[in-house]
C-alpha cells in the first residue's frame, strides 16, 4: 500500500513538472507588445557640447599641440574678467572634451540626465577633473541641457621611464546626473487620434499578429498592419480614456514574434549566430587541410674534458610533422536538418568556428542552406 502511494505521489509530481514545463515553454514563445515595438514619435534625442575639464594633475592637453584648448581657455577667462590674451600659457591641468548625452522622451525641465566625457586633445588621464559649465545642443542648434560636475573614470594609467601600464580607458569618463534639462520638447501624445507602432524587427507575420491581438482584445478593428514594420492604431470612439490609456492596455498583450531564418557571421572575430528556424537540405560536408609543424631543438656539442683539440658548437635539430588530413571523414546531413543537428554534426567533424564560416558559405552557395546568410 505504501509503495502504491509513493508511485501515485511520484506520478503526480511528474505530471505537475511536465505541465509546468509545457506552460513555461508556451509562455517563453510569446513576448509583450511593448518589448517588440516603439511608439512613433516617442524617441530619444542626442545632445552634444564642447567644454573644458580642469583640475587635472598634469595630465591635461599640451597647449602647444592643442591650440583649440588654449583658445577655449583664453575665451573662458575673458568671460570671467581675466585678460590673458597675448600671454604665454603653459598649463597641463586643462583638457578640451566633447560632452554627449541623451535626452529621453517627455523629460521635464529641471530634471537631470547622465553625460559622457571624451577628450579631444592629447590629454592622458581625466582622473580628478571637473567639467565646467557646458551647454548641450540638439540637432536644431538649440540648448536643451547644461552639464557640469566631477568626472568619474573607470580606468587609470601609470607611466615610468621604461614601462607604461593602462587599465581601461582613462581618457573617457561619465558624470551621473551631470546635466540639468533647461528646455522641454513640445510633444503632446494625447492630441493624436491615431498612432503607429514601429516594429523593432520588421516582419509581416509579426505585424499581423500584433494587429489581431489588439483587435481581439478590444473587440474592434482599430489596428491595421500597414507593412512589415508598422501597425496603425486608431483611437476607438467607444473607448473610455486617453491615447495613453489605450497604449497602456495593449502594450501588455502577449504576441508570438516571427522572424525569418537567418545566419549572422562576423568573419573578423569568428562569431557565428544562427536562428532556431535554420534548416539544411541534403548535403555532404568534408573539411580538411594540410598542416605542417616545424620544431627547432638546437643541441650544444662540447669537446671532452682536458682535450687539446675541439671546440664548442651548436648542432641544429629540426623535427617536421605533416598532417595531410587523412583522418577527416565525409559527413552527410539529410534534408530538414535543424540547428541542433547542424551544430552537432560540425562538432563531430572537429570543425573550428572559422572553418564553420567557410562551410556555411559553401552550403549557401550550393543552395542547401534554407536561411539568409548575413555577413557583418
Output the pLDDT for position 239: 83
Phi, psi (5° rounding) for residue 347?
Answer: -65, -35
Residues 6+ away with beta carbon under 8 Å from 29: 256
Catalogue the long-range contacts made by 318-321 (C-beta closer than 8 Å, 24 or more residues apart). Answer: 318/294, 319/294, 319/295, 320/292, 320/293, 320/294, 320/295, 321/292, 321/293, 321/295
DSSP 8-state symbol, 151: P
Output the pLDDT for position 118: 94
- What is the domain partition of the chain in residue ranges? 45-181, 188-255, 263-297+317-375
Output the pLDDT for position 336: 58
**Taking Cα atoms as reference points, which of 103, 79, 267, 122 lies closest to residue 179?**
103
User: Between the CA of residue 37 and those of 114, 122, 196, 228, 257, what are the distances in Å?
Assistant: 25, 43, 10, 12, 11
Output the pLDDT for position 9: 39
| Cα dihedral 12/13/19/24 (nearest 10) | 170
Output the pLDDT for position 363: 78
* Beta partners for residue 313, in sequence order: 301
Output the pLDDT for position 352: 72
**Taking Cα atoms as reference points, which of 104, 101, 115 lies closest to residue 184?**
104
Query: In a structure prediction context, what are the per-residue pLDDT tens digits for the chain, which is 376 residues long?
Result: 434 444 433 333 333 333 344 333 334 478 999 999 999 888 899 999 999 999 998 889 988 888 898 889 888 988 888 888 877 788 889 999 999 999 999 899 999 999 999 999 888 889 889 999 999 999 999 999 999 999 998 766 666 665 666 667 888 999 999 999 999 888 888 888 889 999 998 999 999 999 999 999 988 899 999 999 999 999 888 888 888 888 998 999 999 998 888 888 887 777 788 777 777 777 666 666 544 455 556 676 777 766 666 677 766 665 655 455 555 555 555 555 665 666 666 667 667 777 777 777 887 887 777 788 888 7
Amino acid at each position: 500500500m505504501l509503495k502504491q502511494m509513493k508511485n501515485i505521489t511520484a506520478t503526480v509530481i511528474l505530471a505537475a513538472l511536465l505541465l509546468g514545463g509545457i506552460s513555461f515553454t508556451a509562455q517563453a514563445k510569446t513576448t509583450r507588445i511593448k518589448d517588440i515595438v516603439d511608439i512613433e514619435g516617442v524617441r530619444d534625442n542626442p545632445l552634444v557640447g564642447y567644454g573644458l575639464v580642469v583640475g587635472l594633475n598634469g595630465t591635461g592637453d599640451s597647449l602647444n599641440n592643442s591650440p583649440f584648448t588654449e583658445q577655449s581657455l583664453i575665451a573662458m577667462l575673458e568671460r570671467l574678467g581675466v585678460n590673458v590674451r597675448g600671454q604665454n600659457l603653459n598649463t597641463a591641468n586643462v583638457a578640451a572634451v566633447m560632452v554627449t548625452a541623451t535626452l529621453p522622451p517627455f523629460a521635464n525641465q529641471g530634471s537631470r540626465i547622465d553625460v559622457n566625457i571624451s577628450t579631444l586633445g592629447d590629454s592622458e588621464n581625466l582622473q580628478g577633473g571637473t567639467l565646467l559649465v557646458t551647454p548641450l545642443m540638439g540637432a536644431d542648434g538649440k540648448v536643451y541641457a547644461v552639464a557640469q560636475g566631477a568626472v568619474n573614470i573607470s580606468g587609470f594609467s601609470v607611466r615610468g621611464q621604461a614601462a607604461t601600464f593602462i587599465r581601461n580607458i582613462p581618457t573617457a569618463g561619465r558624470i551621473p546626473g551631470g546635466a540639468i534639462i533647461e528646455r522641454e520638447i513640445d510633444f503632446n501624445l494625447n492630441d493624436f487620434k491615431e498612432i503607429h507602432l514601429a516594429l523593432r524587427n520588421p516582419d509581416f507575420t509579426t505585424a499581423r499578429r500584433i494587429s489581431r491581438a489588439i483587435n481581439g482584445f478590444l473587440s474592434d478593428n482599430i489596428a491595421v498592419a500597414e507593412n512589415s514594420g508598422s501597425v496603425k492604431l486608431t483611437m476607438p470612439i467607444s473607448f473610455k480614456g486617453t491615447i495613453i490609456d489605450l497604449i497602456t492596455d495593449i502594450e501588455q498583450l502577449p504576441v508570438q514574434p516571427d522572424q525569418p531564418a537567418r545566419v549572422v557571421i562576423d568573419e573578423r572575430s569568428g562569431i557565428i549566430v544562427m536562428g532556431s528556424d535554420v534548416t539544411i537540405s541534403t548535403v555532404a560536408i568534408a573539411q580538411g587541410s594540410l598542416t605542417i609543424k616545424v620544431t627547432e631543438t638546437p643541441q650544444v656539442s662540447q669537446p671532452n674534458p682536458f682535450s687539446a683539440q675541439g671546440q664548442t658548437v651548436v648542432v641544429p635539430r629540426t623535427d617536421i610533422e605533416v598532417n595531410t588530413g587523412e583522418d577527416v571523414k565525409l559527413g552527410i546531413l539529410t534534408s530538414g536538418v535543424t540547428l541542433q543537428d547542424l551544430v552537432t554534426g560540425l562538432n563531430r567533424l572537429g570543425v573550428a568556428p572559422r572553418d564553420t564560416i567557410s562551410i556555411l558559405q559553401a552550403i549557401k552557395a550550393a543552395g542547401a542552406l534554407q536561411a539568409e546568410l548575413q555577413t557583418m
